[in-house]
Amino acid sequence: MPQESQFPQAMIISPEFEGKRVDRFLKKRYPKLGQGLLQKFLRNRKITRDGKKLAANDRLEAGDTLELWRSFEEFEVTEREAQEKLERRKRSRGFEKKFRPIFEDEYLVALNKSAGQVVHPAQNHHHGDTLLDLLMLHLPQAYQKESPYRPGFVHRLDQGTSGILIAAKTREAARQLEASFREQQVKKVYLTLVKGSLKKNSGTISLEIGRKNKASGKTKYWAVGGKRSQNVVFPKPGSTAGSKNTPQDNFKEAITRYEVLEKFKGLSLLKVDLGTGRTHQIRVHFSAIGHPVIGDGDYGDKALNQKFRQQFQLERLFLHAHEIEFPHPSDGTMTRLTAPLPFKLKNVIKELKKRV
């Protein structure tokens, strides 16, 4: 347990929690913390934001720093407790709602991931609460000590993005699928809603993407074109930011193709496919050209995101991995899988159509 001199302990809010209520965020992070005790801690400034008092219904912003002025370890769930909870969940219908295969054979399983679901355990996401844990429960025999291969996911999908995610069930299938991704034989199609009306009904964004680690510990991704030190198009389109704010290395080619499916007042629904697979590529590219993705707490328009939270109760990124086409690892036959747009995103589009 941390000593008193080690407080406050800082917690940086990541983009996927943009717009979340303080009490709901803390209850998820500390499941054993009751609402009454949480209210007391907030009143007594045992939890503050950037040094200021918080209310339970305050909304979080990406990059916020929460200061914890006491230990909260007693309110965390241990790995054993998480595993027991997961076993109970699998015996209930809740498991079926979280683990949603859209295709499975002896070589692979493809899931329809929900927005907010974490794929792998990490510092703030414990065992028992990730898709990998659910995969282990789905294929228990494959995770025994004597198993020659443990199934795993062969590509990435951001926590805030929903849609298709593929796991290989054999070592050879993993090798084949990873090679297909590496050699760009896989076509991934996303659906996204962005700010503004694009001038062209289809086009290609070709801007290199690099990253910069901020002092807070967060990583930002940047898109650039032309001379890197003179034509930084993110975070502000057309910016002429100097070298102090511009990452000078680790830039990689990034190509994003899009087609406008439908236009609304000040908004565009797009079909997007990637020529490359850089981290946050779609979000960074569209932000760079002045059309950020709705609900993006890191690269988006905060005022517009707030409007969507109030009018549509949308507290997620409007980005969905809708379709994937790849050579099947068994014989190379091109296989196409589709994950329908989630209900909440469908409902947003339905409501927008009423307002045209």
Residue 342 contacts residue 162 (beta carbons within 8 Å): yes
Residue 69 CA to residue 182 CA, distance in Å, equals 46
Question: Is it true that domain 190-354 has CATH number 3.30.450.20?
Answer: no
Structural tokens at position 68: 């914890």
pTM: 0.70
> What Rg, from alpha-carbon coordinates, does the chain have?
22
Number of neighbours of residue 352 by Cβ within 10 angstroms: 18
**260 within 8 A of 166, measured Cβ to Cβ:** no
CA distance 237 to 12: 26
- Residue 351's pLDDT is 94
Active site residues: 158
Q: Spell out the domain ranges in the chain.
A: 4-75, 79-183, 190-354
Question: CA-CA-CA-CA torsion for 78, 81, 82, 86, nearest 10 degrees?
Answer: 170
Do 202 and 258 touch, CB atoms closer than 8 A? yes
222 with 232: CB under 8 angstroms?
yes
Give the Cα separation of 202 and 258 in Å (integer): 5
Task: Give the residue from 123, 108, 30, 102 showing the smallest Cα distance to 70.
Answer: 30
Which run of H or of E encompasses 349? Answer: helix 343-354
Residue closest to 154 by CA, chosen among 144, 142, 169: 169
pLDDT at res. 221: 75
Q: Domain 4-75 carries which CATH code?
A: 3.10.290.10
Q: What is the C-alpha separation between 64 and 66, in angstroms, rounded?
A: 6
Whether 4-75 shares its CATH topology with 190-354 is answered no
Give me the helix-helix angle, 35-43 and 22-29, nearest 10°: 120
CATH fit for domain 79-183, picks 3.40.50.150, 3.30.2350.10, 3.40.1790.10, 3.40.640.10: 3.30.2350.10
Question: Cα–Cα distance between 206 and 251 in angstroms, integer?
Answer: 12
- Determine which helix (DSSP H) or strand (DSSP E) holds 178, and give its type and residue range: helix 171-182
pLDDT in tens, the chain (356 residues): 455 567 888 888 887 677 888 998 898 888 888 888 999 999 999 999 988 999 998 988 888 899 999 988 888 877 677 667 666 666 655 555 677 899 999 999 999 999 988 887 665 555 556 888 788 878 877 777 677 788 889 998 888 999 999 999 998 999 999 999 989 899 999 999 999 999 999 999 999 988 765 544 556 777 776 333 333 444 443 333 333 444 445 788 899 999 999 999 999 999 999 998 888 999 999 999 999 999 999 899 999 999 999 999 999 999 999 999 999 999 999 999 999 999 999 999 999 998 86
